[in-house]
Every structure is written in structure tokens, then in C-alpha cells.
Amino acid sequence: MPRLSTLVAPEPASAPPRPRGAPADPQKFALAIAPSPIDGQGVFAAEAIPARRKIGELRGEPISVAEARRRARGQARIMIVEVSERRAIDASRSVDALRFANHSCRPNATLKLQQGRVAFHALRDIAPGEELTVDYGRSHHQGRLACRCGAPGCAGTL
């Protein structure tokens, strides 16, 4: 199991009230960022996450899909999610741990796109220390990037 170095926890219930108009913390469970056996950094559960529960949301800069594709060209690590035909979220500068979610052909979480927001939900119970993974689906790699998830029945490419 990787060493969970950077803990990112949701606001505790006893936290001072947030300023009027400030958004609520969209993270519902404590997460940690650590080196991933899949690729680069990963995001890991720092506490048990029950099946079918919302884990949190990915926040970032709203940009056009054209701008997202321009930014993605030539980048080794891309933290952009297209939320519609015209809009995308660039999480490159986000502080949200969920931006480090790696791909797996047998994921334990899923992305749900609703009203321009990117929410992560657990597909099954996730144990503390387990890496959170999602199926990226269609990606800009168009099958040219080797998949490193190591899951049984891995597709082999992204």
C-alpha cells in the first residue's frame, strides 16, 4: 500500500461558518494524494467510502472544448474533463485531490456530469488506502496510449 502523504479532508462539522456566498466544500470523504502504482500521483481513500455514495466533485477553470483540446496537445498529464459539447473543466490548478484519479478498466468510482459539474461516486465499497479509479471512456488519446491499470481483462490502451 502506498504511503498516504497529502491528506485532503472535508471540512469538519465544527468548522466555522463559511462566508455568505462562498461555495460549500464539495468533498464528502477524506482523501490522500500519493504515488500511484498505475501512473504518477493517485488519489486514495483516507477513510472507508460506502458504495453508491458521492465522494466529491472536481473543480477547476471552466473553458471551451476548443481551448481544452489546445491545452491538452503535447501534455503528458491532462486534468481536463469535457462536460458538454462546448464546455470543459480544467483542473490543472485545482486543489481538489480528485484531479489525480487514474484510469482503470475495472474502476471503483464513476464520474457523473450534471449541470456542468463533475461528481465522483463510489461504484462499490472502497477501503481506506485503496486508490480511487475511474474509466476515462473516450479520451483524446484515441487508443494510442498504453493502459497501465493492470486490471483483469484490461483493454490495453486508452
- CATH assignment of the domain containing 48: 2.170.270.10
Query: Who's near 116: CB < 8 A, 6+ residues apart?
Result: 62, 83, 84, 87, 89
DSSP of 30-87, one letter per residue? -EEEEE-SSSSEEEEESS-B-TT-EEEEE--EEEEHHHHHHHHTT-SS--EEE-SSSE
Indicate whether 31 belongs to any domain: yes
Indicate whether 76 belongs to any domain: yes
Indicate whether 54 belongs to any domain: yes
pLDDT in tens, 4-13: 445 555 555 5
pTM of full prediction above 0.75: yes
**How high is the pLDDT of residue 129?**
97
**How high is the pLDDT of residue 1?**
44
Q: What is the β-pairing status of strands 31-35 and 6-8?
A: antiparallel
Indicate whether 150 belongs to any domain: no
Nearest-angstrom CA–CA distance, 104 and 120: 14
Query: Who's near 73: CB < 8 A, 6+ residues apart?
Result: none
**Secondary-structure breakdown of the chain: helix, strand, coil percentages, each rounded to the nearest 5:** 10, 30, 60
3-state DSSP assignment of residue 7: strand
**How high is the pLDDT of residue 157?**
84
Contact (Cβ atoms closer than 8 angstroms) between residue 38 and residue 102: yes
Domain of 34 in residue numbering reads as: 6-11+24-134
Indicate whether 119 belongs to any domain: yes
Indicate whether 81 belongs to any domain: yes
**How high is the pLDDT of residue 33?**
95
Count of domains for the chain: 1
**How high is the pLDDT of residue 117?**
87
Indicate whether 36 belongs to any domain: yes
Contact (Cβ atoms closer than 8 angstroms) between residue 83 and residue 113: yes
Indicate whether 18 belongs to any domain: no
Residues of the chain with confidence (pLDDT) below 50: 1-5, 22
Give strand pairing partners of 63.
88
